[in-house]
Chains A and B, each alone.
Chain A
């Protein structure tokens, strides 16, 4: 369906625009971190609003694992039209979500080509997950890694106060 691809195009333009803005202002290396945090911040705010809508009708969550399962299933389906393929945890606040065919990376390559460009396109999604979790009461740090496209892993580490 054509409407799925609208967001993918918008996302591509977003990343391109933010990097172009920073590049025109000066050195690239120093500003790479700012670009990533800008994208992550966008994702954060969107995640907060989205989670409010998605959890409107569902009962309250029992514990952290319940929340992560919700993210892996309902939330991921609503945003990326598929579930997370694999969820692993060490039961001490660290969760690894593995998506074997991440929607925003499928058009890049089927292997290792363009691997160094991939992190830019994952920043927004990391922010999305972080925003969603923060609104559910879990402060955390979300990082992503890619070794073989289009599969990627999101690592969520919950910050205990």
Chain B
């Protein structure tokens, strides 16, 4: 049930090549077990989206591992922010999971070193806040893709600010 919000056209992919200079972010949310399908995807720029989808899917494994590790370790540190999931040579992936098991994943270009941990944390908080608003919207059925324009605008504003 993989639902994507933005379509990739074949011609676009051929025309543009993946460039490291451009700052890229992708924001996705996944619903809880056992399904784990995306509720919302947004990336800038639009090309090479498949690569992001793939990255995010693989990063889900790391998220699951972190969640189960916290459970077994019984640590006092039971934060929602999961931190840097794993760095690759091209980009860094950050994760965040809510108490209702909704996972947020942000992918940021590695060449963008100006984004500090605090800023990523605040981005996740903003995301969580707007997601809570979406949940409380009576026209939203939990489990559907997120159609809310308010949520859209918050995400776009964040991505513009990050790039």
Contact = CB atoms under 8 A, between A and B. Distances in A.
Contacts of A63: 71
A135 B79 contact: no
B32 A59 contact: no
Contacts of B138: 45
B135 interface: yes
A55 B142 CA distance: 16
Interface string A112-152: 00000000000000000000000111000000000000000
Contacts, number: 51
A100 to B, nearest CB: 28
A61 B132 contact: no
Interface string B89-121: 000000001111100000000000000000000
B78 A51 contact: no
Interface of A is mostly: loop
Interface in B1-56: 32-33
28 contacts: A45-B138, A45-B142, A48-B135, A51-B100, A52-B100, A52-B132, A53-B135, A53-B136, A55-B98, A55-B99, A56-B99, A56-B128, A58-B99, A59-B79, A59-B80, A60-B67, A60-B79, A61-B78, A61-B99, A62-B74, A63-B71, A135-B100, A136-B99, A136-B100, A137-B32, A137-B33, A137-B100, A137-B101
Interface of A: 45, 48-49, 51-53, 55-56, 58-63, 135-137
Interface of B: 32-33, 67, 70-71, 74, 78-80, 97-101, 128-129, 131-132, 135-136, 138, 142
